[in-house]
Amino acid sequence: HIAPTTYVPPTRIANDTFVIHQIQPALGQPLFVYLNSMVILGKEPMIVDTGTPANCEQWLKDVFSIVEPNDVRWIFLSHDDVDHTGNLDQAMAACPNAQLVCNWAMIERHTNCFDFPLDRCRWVMDGETLDIGDRTLHALRPPVFDSPTTRGLFDPTTGVYWAVDTFATPLPDPHLA
Q: Peptide bond preceding 30: is omega within 30 degrees of 0, i.e. cis?
A: yes
Q: DSSP 3-state assignment of 83?
A: helix
pLDDT class for 3, splitting at 50, 70, 90? low
pLDDT at 28 (0 to 100): 67
Predicted confidence at residue 76, as pLDDT, reads: 95
Question: How many angstroms separate the CA atoms of 98 and 78, rounded?
Answer: 16
Higher pLDDT, 73 or 25: 73
Give the Cα separation of 109 and 114 in Å (integer). 10
Q: Among 105, 100, 16, 1, which Cα is nearest to 57's? A: 1
Residues in the chain, how many?
Answer: 177
What's the confidence (pLDDT) of residue 153? 95
The pLDDT of residue 44 is 98
* pLDDT of the residue at 30: 73
131 contact partners, CB below 8 Å, separation of at least 6: none
Q: At a CB cut-off of 8 Å and minimum separation 6, what does 171 contact?
A: 31, 32, 33, 34
Mention every residue, 6+ apart, whose C-beta is less than 8 A from residue 52: 1, 22, 24, 35, 59, 82, 83, 86, 87
Higher pLDDT among residues 141 and 146, named by residue: 141
Q: Between 120 and 18, whose confidence is greater?
A: 18
In contact, 8 and 23? CB cutoff 8 Å: yes
Backbone angles phi and psi of 104, in degrees to 5: -60, -35
Look at 34 and 20; give whichever has higher pLDDT: 20
Most confident of 72-86, 98-112, 128-142: 128-142
